[in-house]
C-alpha cells in the first residue's frame, strides 16, 4: 500500500511524464513544419515513449492501492528557434526528469517502500539512457555547426540513433 506522500509524488511524476510527451510532440510538429522529417520522426517516437512511461506509472499507482490522477495538460511552446536549441532543450528537460525520478527514489527510501523503490529502478536506468542519448545528439550537432549538408545527413540519421548506441557497449561485452 502506498503512503499518501508517495502517492502524491508518483502522481506528480505522472504529470511530468505526460508533459514530456506533449513537449516532444510539439518538437515533432515544429520539426515536421521545418522539413526535418528524420528529427520529426525521432520526436514523435519519443513522445509515444514518454506516454508509455506515464501509463506504466498510472498502472503501478492503481495496483498499489493508490489512485492515479490523470493530469490536465498545458500547451507546450510551438517555436524552438533552431534544431540546435530544440535539442539543447531536450537535454535540459531530460536532466529535469532525472532529478524528479531521483527525488522519488529518495522518498521511497525515507518511507521504506522497497517495492516502489524497486519499480523505480527501471526509470533510473531509463533516464541514464535518455541523458546519454541527448548528449550524443548534442555532440553530433556541435560537429555539424552551421553546415547544411551536415544537417541533411543528421536529419536522415537521427532516426537510427538509439539509447543503446549512445550508452555504449554492455559491461563485459
> 3-class secondary structure for the chain?
CCCHHHHHHHHHHHHHHHHHHHHHHHHHHHHHHCCCHHHHHHHHHHHHHHHHHHHHHHHHHHHCCCCCCCCCCCCCCCCCCCHHHHHHHHHHHHHHHHHHHHHHHHHHHHHCCHHHHHHHHHHHHHHHHHHHHHHHHHHHHHHHCCCHHHHHHHHHHHHHCCHHHHHCCCCCC
Of the listed ranges 17-21, 60-64, 152-156, the least confidently predicted one is: 152-156
The predicted pLDDT at position 28 comes to 96
Residue 158 confidence (pLDDT): 87
In order of their start, the domains of the chain are 4-167 (1.20.1260.10)
List, as residue ranges, the binding site for Fe cation: 17, 50, 53, 94, 127
Binding residue positions = 17, 50, 53, 94, 127
Please name the residues in contact with 171: beta carbons below 8 A apart, sequence gap of 6 or more.
Answer: none
> Does position 167 have pLDDT exceeding 50, yes or no?
no
pLDDT in tens, 94-135: 999 999 999 999 999 999 999 999 999 999 999 999 999 999
Amino acid at each position: 500500500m502506498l503512503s499518501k506522500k508517495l502517492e502524491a509524488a508518483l502522481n506528480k511524476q505522472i504529470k511530468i511524464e505526460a508533459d514530456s510527451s506533449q513537449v516532444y510532440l510539439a518538437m515533432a510538429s515544429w520539426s515536421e513544419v521545418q522539413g526535418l522529417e528524420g528529427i520529426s520522426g525521432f520526436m514523435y517516437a519519443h513522445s509515444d515513449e514518454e506516454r508509455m512511461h506515464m501509463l506504466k506509472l498510472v498502472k503501478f499507482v492503481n495496483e498499489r492501492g493508490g489512485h492515479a490522477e490523470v493530469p490536465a495538460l498545458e500547451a507546450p511552446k510551438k517555436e524552438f528557434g533552431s534544431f540546435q536549441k530544440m535539442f539543447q532543450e531536450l537535454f535540459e528537460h531530460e536532466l529535469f526528469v532525472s532529478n524528479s525520478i531521483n527525488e522519488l527514489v529518495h522518498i521511497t527510501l525515507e518511507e521504506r517502500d522497497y517495492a516502489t523503490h524497486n519499480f523505480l529502478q527501471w526509470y533510473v536506468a531509463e533516464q541514464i539512457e535518455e541523458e546519454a542519448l541527448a548528449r550524443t545528439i548534442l555532440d553530433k550537432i556541435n560537429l555539424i555547426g552551421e553546415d547544411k549538408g551536415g544537417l541533411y545527413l543528421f536529419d536522415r540519421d537521427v532516426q537510427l540513433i538509439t539509447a543503446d548506441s549512445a550508452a555504449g557497449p554492455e559491461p563485459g561485452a
